[in-house]
């Protein structure tokens, strides 16, 4: 697939940005590297003249930005999402280095839309937001001063994406024809499965929402690593539905 098309499939998602100037800086960072899909989740102030000023010639990306009220909605239809975090979390998705993960992101972009997800300037990404991503990336930094400006973090990842898109890349394992392969499940299909799983685990008593522990994040990490295909999601949901029928817990999910 052409590099320009791969880059056009990357959504840059800014979660709860506080400073409109950073939104403008992100748009400029994206456009210089050939990305265009700016996506905002609950921006504090947008549109705003400060965003336009900092975007300079990338105001077209601001005008075309998509705005959502939750990260879940912003990721609808994507097949792979990477969360950017300056801090390593003990319970997040599988962590990796920017170059390695951007390569995985571009392989996934052969199949559909993908996302780079950035956090708020003060508090970063919440654990819940990171849980919606398949992978986590920290940009290597001075350990004593690890937090980049939001626009700068966007620039680093967009640069890596451009380098990877224009480099010769071996065919991804997914794109090599193997029997029984179905398309990668989208974010919303996988979230539907998680909701179904939680319902059945709760109904059968395996999971107690009053004492959640680490069960749900661990299951998310397991299935996130597996990069579920659509057929596989359907099989798993079939197993859950059959369990519900057999145990009389209903099939309302």
Q: Per CB under 6 A, does 13 bind ligand SAH? A: no
Q: Per CB under 6 A, does 20 bind ligand SAH? A: no
Q: Which helix (H) or strand (E) holds 137?
A: strand 135-137
Q: Per CB under 6 A, does 85 bind ligand SAH? A: yes
Q: Per CB under 6 A, does 147 bind ligand SAH? A: yes
Give whichever of 51 and 150 is closer to ligand SAH, judged by the CB atom: 150
β-strands 10-15, 37-41 pairing: parallel
Q: Which of residues 114-133 bind ligand SAH (CB under 6 A)?
A: 118-119, 121-122, 124-125
Pick one of 32, 138, 172, 243: the residue that binds ligand SAH (CB under 6 A).
Answer: 138
98-103, Cβ contacts within 8 angstroms, sequence gap of 24 or more: 98/137, 98/139, 98/140, 98/156, 98/157, 98/160, 99/160, 99/164, 101/135, 101/137, 102/157, 102/160, 102/161, 102/164, 103/164, 103/169
Q: Report, in Å, the least distance between residue 81 CB and ligand SAH.
A: 12
Give whichever of 83 and 199 is closer to ligand SAH, judged by the CB atom: 83
What's the chain's Rg over C-alpha atoms? 19
- Residues making contact with ligand SAH (CB under 6 A): 84-87, 118-119, 121-122, 124-125, 137-139, 141, 146-148, 150, 153
């Amino acid at each position: 697939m052409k590099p320009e098309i791969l880059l056009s499939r990357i959504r840059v998602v800014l979660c709860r940005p506080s400073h409109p100037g950073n939104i403008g800086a992100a748009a400029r960072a994206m456009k210089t590297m050939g990305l265009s899909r700016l996506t905002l989740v609950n921006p504090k102030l947008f549109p705003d003249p400060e965003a336009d000023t900092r975007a300079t010639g990338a105001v077209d990306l601001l005008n075309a930005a998509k705005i959502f009220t939750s990260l879940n909605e912003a990721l609808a239809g994507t097949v792979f999402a990477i969360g950017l975090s300056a801090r390593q979390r003990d319970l997040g998705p599988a962590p990796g280095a920017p170059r390695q993960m951007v390569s995985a992101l571009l392989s996934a972009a052969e199949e559909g839309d993908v996302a780079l997800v950035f956090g708020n300037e003060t508090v970063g990404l919440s654990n819940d937001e990171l849980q919606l991503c398949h992978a986590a990336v920290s940009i290597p930094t001075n350990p004593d001063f690890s937090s980049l400006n939001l626009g700068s973090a966007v620039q680093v990842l967009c640069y890596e994406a451009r380098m990877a898109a224009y480099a010769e890349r071996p065919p991804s394992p997914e794109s090599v024809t193997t029997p029984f392969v179905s398309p990668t499940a989208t974010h919303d299909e996988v979230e539907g499965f998680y909701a179904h799983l939680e319902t059945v685990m709760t109904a059968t008593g395996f999971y107690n929402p009053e004492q959640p522990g680490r069960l749900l994040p661990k299951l998310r990490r397991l299935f996130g690593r597996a990069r579920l295909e659509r057929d596989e999601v359907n099989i798993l949901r079939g197993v859950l539905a059959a369990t519900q029928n057999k145990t009389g817990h209903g099939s309302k999910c």
